Amino acid sequence: MSDNKQSSPDTTQSHVRIRWEDMELSTREYFHVALDKIGPRRSYPVHTHVDFAEIFWVKEGEGTQLLEGGRTVKLTPMHLWFVYPSNRHGFRASRRGMTIYNLVFRSSCLEFLKERYSSNFSSWPWKEGNDPYSIALTQPFHQWLESRAMELGRYPKDIAFIEQFLLSTVCRLHNHLEPEKGPEIPAWVLNLEQQIKNPEFFSAGVSVFKEITGKSYEYIAKTTKRYFHMTPSELLNKARIEYAAELLAMDNDSIGEIAGKCGFKESSYFYRQFQKHYNCSAYEYRERQRFFKDLNNRARETSDTPAPNAQSRNGKRPKTAGASKELEQATC
């Protein structure tokens, strides 16, 4: 999906099947990241990927994702989509057009990570079947994701960089992926779950649950225990701690200041909750994130000089980090 070239359909299938070589990517490359501008009302047909997977999210504008059987899903910013090779999807931009961040990578990378790490997570975001899978993004995670994508676009297209990016993304997503929720869960419960992730509610405590739902605390407590196996306090602390982890990775504020931003009046209570949730201290978590950031910075410095065998999509050497464009922009 990162290239605008029309792919040749496989005559044995009713949909387009796109291969790595159809996108004119070098056989030496393991991934490609681009900022794709899809013109007003332009569309890509429903297709599958033969030998690569994909993640994408809308940066600007709106559109529609085309699914098998004529079904559609609205595409808007702040949602991250995971496309397994067998998933069938296409794009159609709105009348104002749509800009997406798009990352494609070889299936072998995904299969290696899935075999080695998927058992460590309650849910693996690339799902087999017909439809892609998506999650809503918080603002801090969205900022982190775009920053990492821009960095990745400057790296050599080697396997180490894409596997590091994918694994770090899944690790961060692990704290955003909720257990599968069936349609029997009432809409007000799902709305409550999303609303309490808003930092504006963190300082109010569990009293805000009644304000959001208009229901008694006793009934709310019984409901959260049934569907999430947590008390209202535990559910709120989970949202607070996960937001704190994002701030620790991105902000330079002190740990005490971050604890206050997340509604914790006592630092000692924050430290205990963080240790319980992440099995490490807030300080250790921040140092770990800084380590990977430093590692990425060193990798970016080495990418200023193109690798001898590195090739871009047109067979030429890729642009260095000092080039005027941070990402290759493929336009319709």
Between β-strands 31-38 and 328-331, what pairing exists: parallel, antiparallel or unpaired?
parallel
Block residue for tokens 């709105």? 94
Q: What is the pLDDT along the chain (332 residues), one digit of tens a residue?
A: 433 333 333 333 456 899 998 877 788 899 998 877 788 888 888 999 999 999 999 988 999 999 988 899 999 998 999 999 999 999 899 988 898 989 999 999 999 999 998 887 777 899 888 899 988 888 788 888 888 888 888 888 999 999 999 998 988 887 655 444 444 678 898 889 888 988 988 988 899 999 999 999 999 999 998 888 889 999 999 899 989 988 887 778 999 999 999 999 999 999 999 988 777 789 988 887 776 566 555 544 554 544 444 443 344 433 333 333 332 333 23
∠ CA 92-98-101 to the nearest 5 degrees?
A: 105
The total number of structural domains that make up the chain: 2
> pTM surpassing 0.85?
no
In a domain, 99, yes or no: yes
In a domain, 135, yes or no: yes
Same domain, 45 and 97: yes
Question: CB within 8 A of 4, min separation 6: which ones?
Answer: 36, 330, 331, 332
Last residue of a domain, one of 269, 286, 303: 286
In a domain, 306, yes or no: no
* CATH number of the domain that residue 232 is part of: 1.10.10.60
Same domain, 72 and 170: yes
Same domain, 147 and 204: no
* Structural domain range at position 261: 187-286
Q: Are 317 and 311 in contact (CB under 8 A)?
A: yes
In a domain, 316, yes or no: no
Closest CA to 86 of 41, 42, 124, 53: 53
Distance CA 87, CA 90 (A): 10
* CATH number of the domain that residue 77 is part of: 2.60.120.810
Same domain, 32 and 147: yes
